Amino acid sequence: MSRRTHRSARTGPVEAVVARLGAGGDGIAALPDGRPAYIPDALPGERVRILPGARRGEGVAASLLARLSDSSDRVAPPCPHFGPCGGCAVQHLGEEAYRRWKTGLLADALRRAGFSDTPIDSLVPASSATRRRADLALRNGAVGFHERASRRVIDAPECRVLDPAILTLAQHLRDLARQLACLRPEAEAQVNLLDSGADLVLRGAREPDLAGRERLAAFAEAADLARLCWATGAAPPLPVAIRRVPAIAFAGVAVEPPPGAFLQATLDGEAAIGAAVLTALADLPEDALVADLFAGIGTLTFRLARRFRLRAAEGEAEAAAALRRAAQGSGLAARIAVGTRDLAARPLLPAELRGVDAVVLDPPRDGARAQCEALAQAPVRRIVYVSCNPAALARDARLLAVGGWRPMRATPIDQFLWSGHLECVVPFSR
């Protein structure tokens, strides 16, 4: 196709029928020239009038001008901010269709990896108003999430996903953002709801002055925060006010996390992940040796340590130190050996896994390419992969397949309601 033809295909509105729902929640339809168009707020089977726009992968992003027909799966979105807000993608999709779509994300990932017959459990659903962590954007007094594909911030005093305690804190932040110059024109707020209260990290472009720090400390008191930290630019966060020891418990073990530590998005999701991992290891003898990779602050570690001996590895030094302190303080240090190691740059090699019975890995969103390349030849009985990104899971599963590993089954767990994100637990055996 010539460049002129390519341009003309996107200059005017076209009509199309949506064929399927993409991994991000956009409807996908074919343009007259065969390229896929990605259409927000469009569902399979709907006839739509769209305006093709900028290139997106092999296709184009398109604006929805009109729906000429409605899918039977379409429902009224429960949130008034749905559409412009980039936090949710499919609030307009009915519950049964939503479950099929989410489960299909996992099935498609395994199919792309070459495993089309893996048994898949029923989706573990997410409940509304239960998300306990959030990255909020602040801009000129607005507090919320970015608009889709934009830096513009949608002020979102209502949200059907977040725990109400985060919404209350966000309202306090609106008042604070109007008062503090260091939060203007824009800043970020990272909130974790811990057992001891809210743990807040504010990140702005410049340091607060003395009066600003005093105002932040007063804010921590008024908002009843456990801890408030400030970070300038890309610098690590430093405490401004610690009113209570920040603490969260995993399997009854209290951990004092570093500022901004990773938590599973919901408490129910965390419990479902832990249960699926333990089920996948149920045939191992007690006191088997398990490697817990990308261990974080111990989300899975302490559940596993009740039955197995653990070798935990975590790349972030502060998270590993928090995990180590918690193991020592709980009397589990003899069962949990904690190492600080960047598994992306220096994965555990097969020779280092001699004597290990099973490996559990819970990598970040971009997956564990280097570690899975090494695990393909690992002399272990079981690998349990906990994934938050079906695309990364598909790639890493292909790497494991080179060593003869096959998925035994897969459990989809929804922690990110109405979005394209999906947690899943997949045990592999040879």
Q: Over the stretch 252-302, which tens digit does the pLDDT of each residue have?
A: 999 999 999 999 999 999 999 999 999 999 999 999 999 999 999 999 999
Confidence band (pLDDT; 50, 70, 90) for 10? very low
Reply yes or no on whether the pLDDT at 1 is more than 50: no
30 beta partners: 36
Reply yes or no on whether the pLDDT at 5 is more than 90: no
For residue 376 the two structure tokens come to: 């393909």
Reply yes or no on whether the pLDDT at 8 is more than 80: no
Q: Over the stretch 339-358, which tens digit does the pLDDT of each residue have?
A: 999 999 999 999 999 999 99
Q: Give catalytic status of residue 372 as yes or no.
A: no
Residues of the chain with CATH 2.40.50.140: 3-67
Residue 269: what pLDDT?
A: 98
Confidence band (pLDDT; 50, 70, 90) for 332? very high
Residues of the chain with CATH 2.40.50.1070: 133-249
The answer to whether 290 and 272 are in contact (CB under 8 A) is: no
- Give the integer Cα–Cα distance in Å for 130 and 169: 15
51 beta partners: 63
Q: What is the mean pLDDT of the chain?
A: 95
Reply yes or no on whether the pLDDT at 6 is more than 90: no
Question: What is the percent of the chain with per-residue pLDDT over 90, rounded to a whole number?
Answer: 95
Segment 82-108 mean pLDDT: 96
The answer to whether 31 and 14 are in contact (CB under 8 A) is: yes
Can you identify the CATH homologous superfamily of domain 3-67? Nucleic acid-binding proteins (2.40.50.140)
Residue 2: what pLDDT?
A: 38
Reply yes or no on whether the pLDDT at 47 is more than 80: yes
Query: Can you name the CATH fold of 133-249?
Result: OB fold (Dihydrolipoamide Acetyltransferase, E2P) (2.40.50)
How far, CA to CA in Å, does 102 sit from each of 21, 93, 120, 404? 10, 11, 12, 28
Residue 225: what pLDDT?
A: 98
Confidence band (pLDDT; 50, 70, 90) for 3? very low
Segment 27-49 mean pLDDT: 97
Q: Over the stretch 299-311, which tens digit does the pLDDT of each residue have?
A: 999 999 999 999 9
User: In degrees rounded to 5, what are phi and psi of residue 50?
Assistant: -130, 160
Position of tokens 């994934």?
387
pTM reported for the whole predicted model: 0.94
Reply yes or no on whether the pLDDT at 59 is more than 50: yes
Query: CATH class for domain 99-126+263-429?
Result: alpha beta
Catalytic residue among 229, 372, 388, 424: 388
Reply yes or no on whether the pLDDT at 135 is more than 80: yes
Residue 11: what pLDDT?
A: 66
Q: What is the DSSP string of 63-93?
A: EEEEESS--TTB---S-TTBTTBSS-S-TTB
Residue 261: what pLDDT?
A: 97
Reply yes or no on whether the pLDDT at 228 is more than 70: yes
Residue 140: what pLDDT?
A: 87
Segment 160-168 mean pLDDT: 97
30-53 burial, b for 16+ CB within 10 Å, e for fewer?
ebeeebbbbbbbbbbbbebebbbe
